[in-house]
Structure 1
């Protein structure tokens, strides 16, 4: 399959990305819709959760991505692998997450990952970063007690800001005060593979819903 080409960054505050997703039929998406669900926010080409879905067939996985061509590519890769516990959705998580979570079967959402999000280094662009208080509150409202949020970035400033946003919400408790030395997952994102391959650090943290 030819490599998919797409803009590396899109502005999530643009009007065209504010349309909310329509309600999903979870029984149509997953062979077993009542399995535990892991949502990967900003999944890009789906490299990470394609691996996860293959390794953990007793979980369902949902990748959310704001760049539509990447969603199409990821769905094609899923279909080639024949995975029935994996789905990808084109959406802006900051515009649609709460509405999406409202339709889930009760207590299925158990885990959320936000990995290597666009850093938006310029100060005037930092409001475009994915982890905003509204997104954290949506997860606080729908994750059950004991549900996990896993954060990873190769940019320490971005990792710290993500942690600050979750720490500000009383529903979440960080598991360790320092960065985690290893990933909690048996799979890696393509960005993680590239970063570690260069011998550079990855900044990781886990928050638990109280």
Structure 2
């Protein structure tokens, strides 16, 4: 399938993206709702989850993405591959996370990943970055005890800001004070592979939610 042209960046603060998503009927989405859930925020084309969901069939996977055309492509590929433990939603994670997670069975969210989010380099645009204190608080509330948050970026400034915001929340414990040298997940994103192939660094951190 050829790539369609999509906007590289979408302003998440524009009025068009402030309406929270309507949660789907989860029992019609996943074949087995008893499986733990991994949520990937900003999943892009979804190729990371398309691979990981097949690698880890004992988990359910949910990708959130603000660019609708990417979500449509990801869903089409999921359907073509007939992957029953994977779903994608078109939404702005910041206003949608709380109602979305509130609709899920308690304790089911066990892993969250935020990988290579839009950096929004200009100072006046940095409030558009996805990892805001409110998002961290929502994840802290709904993530199960012992659950994991995995962060990575090829922009050190963005990685530091994400790490610091999770570290500031009392629910989370940073597993390693140094950037992780390797990805702890079984699958790498396309952006990660491209960055490493160019010999450039990737900044990674893992947090665990306390009891």
Q: How many residues align?
A: 210
The residue that corresponds to 1:171 in the other structure is: 171
Superposition deviation, residue 47 in structure 1: 1.0
TM-score for the superposition, normalised by structure 1: 0.99
The residue that corresponds to 2:93 in the other structure is: 93
Q: Distance in 1 between matches of 2:175 and 2:15?
A: 37
Superposition deviation, residue 64 in structure 1: 0.1
Q: 1:4 touches 1:73 (CA, 8 Å); kept in 2?
A: no
Q: SS in structure 2 opposite 1:193?
A: helix
Q: Distance in 1 between matches of 2:100 and 2:206?
A: 23
Moved over 4 A (4+): none
Q: Matches of residues 54-203 of structure 1 in structure 2 within 5 Å? A: 54-203=54-203
Q: SS in structure 1 opposite 2:39?
A: strand
Q: Matches of residues 46-57 of structure 1 in structure 2 within 5 Å? A: 46-57=46-57
Q: Could you list the per-position Cα deviations for residues 37-67 of structure 1 after superposition, in whole angstroms to 9, with x for gaps in the alignment?
A: 0000000000111110010011000000000
Structure 2 unaligned residues grouped into runs of 5+: none
The residue that corresponds to 2:36 in the other structure is: 36
Q: SS in structure 2 opposite 1:195?
A: helix
C-alpha RMSD over aligned residues:
0.6
Q: SS in structure 2 opposite 1:181?
A: coil
Q: SS in structure 2 opposite 1:177?
A: coil
Q: Distance in 2 between matches of 1:48 and 1:23?
A: 23
Q: Distance in 1 between matches of 2:15 and 2:204?
A: 32
TM-score for the superposition, normalised by structure 2: 0.98
Q: Distance in 2 between matches of 1:184 and 1:146?
A: 16
